[in-house]
Amino acid sequence: MEVPAALVCRSWVLSWARSNPSPARRVKSKNLHGYMFRLMNCFRKPCASIALGLAQHLTDRYTPRMHRGCTILLAFWVWLLPASALGVTVIDDRAWLGVSILDGSSGVLVREVVDNSPAALAGLAVGDEVHEVAGMRVRQARELISVIKMHDIGDRVRLTVQRKDKTLYMLAILAPMPSEDELLHYRLVGKPARQFRLPVVSGEDSGRLGDLRGRVLIMAFTSANCDMCRPIHRQMSRMVDQRPGADLAVLAIARGSRTSLEDWVRYLSPSFTVLHDPLGHTFEEYRVPGDNVPVLVVVDRDGTILYAAIARGEGVEGAFSAARRALDVIAAL
Which percentage of the chain shows pLDDT scores above 70? Answer: 71
Say if residue 280 is in the same domain as residue 202.
yes
Residue predicted with more confidence, 99 or 333: 99
* Shared domain check, 283 and 194: yes
Residue 295 phi, psi dihedral angles, 5° rounding = -120, 135
Residue-wise pLDDT for 213-271, tens only, equals 999 999 999 988 787 788 888 899 998 888 877 799 999 999 888 998 999 899 889 99
Residue 135's domain is classified under what CATH number?
A: 2.30.42.10
189 neighbors 305 (Cβ within 8 angstroms):
yes
Confidence band, pLDDT 50/70/90 cuts, at residue 174: very high
* Domain stop point among 176, 203, 235: 176
The residue ranking higher by pLDDT, 269 or 66, is 269
Lowest mean pLDDT across 77-81, 121-125, 160-164, 251-255: 77-81
pLDDT tier for residue 314 given thresholds of 50, 70 and 90: confident
Range of the domain at 17: 2-91
pLDDT-based confidence at 46, cuts 50/70/90? very low
Higher pLDDT, 119 or 64: 119
Choose one of 91, 113, 145: the last residue of a domain: 91
CA distances from 269 to 174, 239, 265, 296, 323 (A): 48, 14, 6, 20, 22
Question: Is the pLDDT at 30 greater than 50, yes or no?
Answer: no
How many residues comprise the chain? 333
Confidence at residue 136, expressed as pLDDT on a 0 to 100 scale: 95
CATH code for position 195: 3.40.30.10
Of residues 294, 302, 291, 282, the one with CA closest to residue 320: 294
- The yes-or-no verdict on residue 158 having pLDDT over 60 is yes
**Predicted TM-score of the model (pTM):** 0.69
Query: What does the pLDDT look like over 102-142, one tens digit per residue?
Result: 999 999 999 999 998 999 999 999 999 999 999 999 999 99
Provide the pLDDT for residue 41: 46
Residue 145 phi, psi dihedral angles, 5° rounding: -60, -40
According to the model, what pLDDT value does residue 332 have? 76
- R_g over Cα of the chain: 25
Between β-strands 136-137 and 129-133, what pairing exists: parallel, antiparallel or unpaired?
antiparallel
pLDDT band at 89 (very low <50, low <70, confident <90, very high): very low
Residues 222 and 315 in one domain: yes
Confidence check: pLDDT of 310 > 50? yes
For 9-49, what is the HEC assignment? HHHHHHHHHHHCCCHHHHHHHHHHHHHHHHHHHHCCCCCHH
Q: CA 196 to CA 299: how far, in whole Å? A: 14
Nearest to 153 by CA among 93, 196, 78, 66: 93
Residue 105 burial by Cβ neighbours in a 10 Å radius (0-12, 13-18, 19+):
exposed
Look up residue 298 and give its amino acid: V
Residue 23 pLDDT more than 60? no
Statement: residue 208 has pLDDT above 80: yes
For residues 191 and 305, the answer to whether their CB atoms sit within 8 Å is: yes
94 CA to centre of own chain: 13
Per-residue 3-state assignment (H helix, E strand, C coil) for 200-230:
EEECCCCCEHHHHCCCEEEEEEEECCCHHHH
Check residue 7 and give its pLDDT. Answer: 44
Other residues' Cβ atoms within 10 Å of the Cβ of residue 100: 15
4-17, pLDDT tens digit by residue? 444 444 444 444 44
Q: Are residues 168 and 189 in the same domain?
A: no
Backbone angles phi, psi at 223, to 5 degrees: -150, 160
- Asked if 198 and 321 sit in the same domain, the reply is yes
241 and 311, same domain (yes or no): yes
Q: How many domains does the chain have?
A: 3
Q: Where are the alpha helices (DSSP H) in the chain?
A: 5-19, 23-42, 48-62, 68-79, 118-122, 141-149, 180-188, 230-242, 258-268, 281-285, 314-332
Mean of the per-residue pLDDT values for the chain? Answer: 79
**Per-residue confidence band for 19, with pLDDT thresholds at 50, 70 and 90:** very low
CA distance 133 to 114: 18
> Which of 91, 123, 142 is the C-terminal boundary of a domain?
91
